[in-house]
Structure 1
Amino acid sequence: MNYQPPLVVGHAKSTKIVIVGAGSVGVTTAYALLLSGLAAEIVLIDIDKNRALGEVMDLSHAAHYAQAKIRVGEYVDCAGAAAVIITAGVNQKPGQTRLDLVQTNHALFENIVPQIVENAPDTILIVATNPVDVLTYSAWKISGFPVQRVIGSGTSMDTTRFRHELGRHFGVSPRSVHAVIVGEHGDSQLPVWSLATISGMRLQDYCGQAGIDYAHDDMEECARKTREAAYEIIQRKGKTNYGVASVLVSIIEPIITNGDAIMTVSRVGTYAGVENVSLSMPCKLNRDGAHQDVPLLLNASEQEALRKSALSIKEAIMSVEK
């Protein structure tokens, strides 16, 4: 029996996605997107065209089992793209924080973003390059796009890691854990304990019903592992790529399908009284971008922690606006 490739979803028949940056995150995202059936055409752009061509040649062999076409392109090929994902930039090295990368990668965005805007004025920008919150702001400011059309991957990855850690601790699937990380995709990120639930119950209530102890120290350890996960992975293998690639595809999906999915992504706005800053809160994603329709109900201590996170990002933003 011959292999039958998966059916292409209806929205994918003419959908083009462009990825700027053929590093590990960009290429892994291209691979995940290729197999997802969400796009008809994937274009990979990189300053190192020879490397990009080699990646596309390799990916084309995977495309035998998919419906999408993949090719190397130029910025002119952004025309007509439903979304442009920016992964290009200097990677975080062992011992570095994400904010350490701000000056170099902001300068890179000053070159990349105008070329995208010139060729795709109606696209949605998705930023994955770190520090993602600062660069989401940079992409918004440089592009002149409405805030809903410039989306950072933000704490969507941290939220996934957080649910993984809580699921492992409580012995349930991460899919059964409803908990979010908001604020900075970085050291000042905020786990929203007051709204975390399993089976519709707050964590303390779930423990009471399950006959297990609720230990504050254990919860803090889950938050620490979430916060430091990327540092540990980078220390061991030099990069992170699989998790963020899967998150980027999950962000793309409701944009292409007009799915109205809620995810914690980074968007420019006013948070805890701090204006014109980009950080992550739950947003509804659809073909028009990211919308913050319903404010997250935080308690007083969480509001203060969110303000500190916003001020940390704001300081980094101001350092590149001088």
Structure 2
Amino acid sequence: MIQKQSVAIIGTGNVGVAAAYALFNQRIVSEIILVDLDDEKAEGEAMDLMHGQLLVGNVKVRSGTYEDLTDSQVIVVTAGVGQNSPDESRLELLNRNASVFRDIISNLDKYAPNAILIIATNPVDILTYVSQQLSSRNPHKILGTGTLLDTARFRALLGQYYNIDPRSVHAYILGEHGDSEVPIWSQANIGGKPIINNTIMSKSYDKETLDQLFIKAKNAAYQIIEKKGYTNLAIGVVIARIVDGILANEKSVIPISVSWDGEYGITDVCMSIQSVIGVDGVKGVVTPKISDQEIAGLKKSATILKESLSAISIN
């Protein structure tokens, strides 16, 4: 690499470690700094990755503190708190995470004010919005992983169904990263051929089957958590993909959680839309013509998120 590219990860839980591993294994950056309240955990994870340098290359991994992040171009936030008990409400959990983020964002504004922040902690849309409100940096430098993971799952399932490489499937899930997310069927295509009402690879259009594929993608996290207790591997790859797009200044279009400013009549919320990313963060959004039903779905997503935001204390 011509110049040092430093990325920090706040939180060395399952998601943070998976992101670090993906970044390390793909050689996307020259330095990874792990920050956690548990210094020993962060140091242990850094040591474990460093022992793979022989096979990966000279990617430096170390533990650190906020003070060490002054040269980090991108900082990934995976830290957060889980439920204290099964009786704790979603709102109570949201408020506790908002409190955690006040401390995190305050430190990041102090020690790394120019870095781009990628929020990966759930509920990601809420916490992306909270981060933008708490931070003094340009909102375009704060984005959430959003529905890129949902979209990846969606395309993988469509690829399996049509026996096509998922990279040749062009279909998006937008809106909330959660139960109200919206599949954009009106724009879904394979090799430029719309999926709706067309036969592709000898498979005729079957709305019911395709709707079930979307539901399977939407509910995938629940199934994975039921089987292994948490999700981390695919979101780690998603984080690495976003970091790569930013540092390489790709100007790629991907569905991530950003602030909406009138797109499809929606404002004052963070959720996923096709966004252009580069070294300055979010450079813009792409808004293709979609169906009235899809717009209604996105507005419903926004309403649900705003209801949660109105009930939590941000400042």
Q: Sort the TM-score into its range (normalised by shorter chain).
A: over 0.9
1:266 aligns with 2:273: no
C-alpha distance 265-64 of structure 1, shift in aligned 2 (>3 A): same
1:321 aligns with 2:313: yes
Distance 2:89 2:161 in 1: 27
C-alpha distance 100-228 of structure 1, shift in aligned 2 (>3 A): farther
| 1:205 shift after superposition | 5.0
Distance 1:97 1:219 in 2: 34
| 1:144 shift after superposition | 2.3
| 1:80 shift after superposition | 1.5
C-alpha distance 152-298 of structure 1, shift in aligned 2 (>3 A): same
Residue in 1 that maps onto 2:219: 228
| 1:91 shift after superposition | 4.7
CA offsets per residue over residues 1-57 of structure 1, 9 Å max, x none? xxxxxxxx44xx311100000001101111111122221111000001111111111
Alpha carbons 1:183, 1:306 under 8 Å: kept: yes
Alpha carbons 2:185, 2:196 under 8 Å: kept: no
1:239 aligns with 2:223: no
Distance 1:100 1:300 in 2: 35
1:75 aligns with 2:66: yes
TM-score by length of 1: 0.91
1:257 aligns with 2:255: no
| 1:176 shift after superposition | 1.3
Residue in 2 that maps onto 1:42: 32
Alpha carbons 1:134, 1:313 under 8 Å: kept: yes
Counterpart amino acid of residue 43 in structure 1: I
Residue in 2 that maps onto 1:59: 49
Match of 1:309 among 297, 301, 308: 301
Distance 1:261 1:23 in 2: 28
CA offsets per residue over residues 273-305 of structure 1, 9 Å max, x none? 332100000111100101334323211111111
Residue in 1 that maps onto 2:7: 17
TM-score by length of 2: 0.93
Residue in 2 that maps onto 1:159: 151
Question: Residue 32 of structure 2: SS of its match in structure 1?
Answer: strand
1:107 aligns with 2:94: no
C-alpha distance 210-37 of structure 1, shift in aligned 2 (>3 A): closer
Question: Residue 52 of structure 2: SS of its match in structure 1?
Answer: helix
Counterpart amino acid of residue 132 in structure 2: W
Question: Residue 292 of structure 1: SS of its match in structure 2?
Answer: strand
CA offsets per residue over residues 54-111 of structure 1, 9 Å max, x none? 1111111123322211111000111011100000013589999987842222111011
Alpha carbons 1:132, 1:154 under 8 Å: kept: yes
Q: Report percent identity of matched pairs.
A: 36
Distance 2:206 2:10 in 1: 44
| 1:165 shift after superposition | 1.1
Alpha carbons 2:80, 2:121 under 8 Å: kept: yes
Question: Residue 281 of structure 1: SS of its match in structure 2?
Answer: strand
Residue in 1 that maps onto 2:204: 213
C-alpha distance 130-77 of structure 1, shift in aligned 2 (>3 A): same
Residue in 2 that maps onto 1:189: 181
Alpha carbons 1:88, 1:129 under 8 Å: kept: yes
C-alpha distance 97-84 of structure 1, shift in aligned 2 (>3 A): farther
Segments of structure 1 that go 5 or more residues without pairing to the other structure are: 1-8
Segments of structure 2 that go 5 or more residues without pairing to the other structure are: none
Q: Which of the two has greater helix per residue? A: 1
Counterpart amino acid of residue 21 in structure 2: Y
Question: Residue 144 of structure 1: SS of its match in structure 2?
Answer: coil
Alpha carbons 1:101, 1:130 under 8 Å: kept: no
C-alpha distance 239-99 of structure 1, shift in aligned 2 (>3 A): farther
C-alpha distance 64-319 of structure 1, shift in aligned 2 (>3 A): farther
Question: Residue 180 of structure 2: SS of its match in structure 1?
Answer: coil
Question: Residue 294 of structure 2: SS of its match in structure 1?
Answer: helix
Mean alpha-carbon deviation: is it higher for 268-277 or for 254-263? 268-277
Residue in 1 that maps onto 2:140: 148
Mean alpha-carbon deviation: is it higher for 187-196 or for 91-100? 91-100
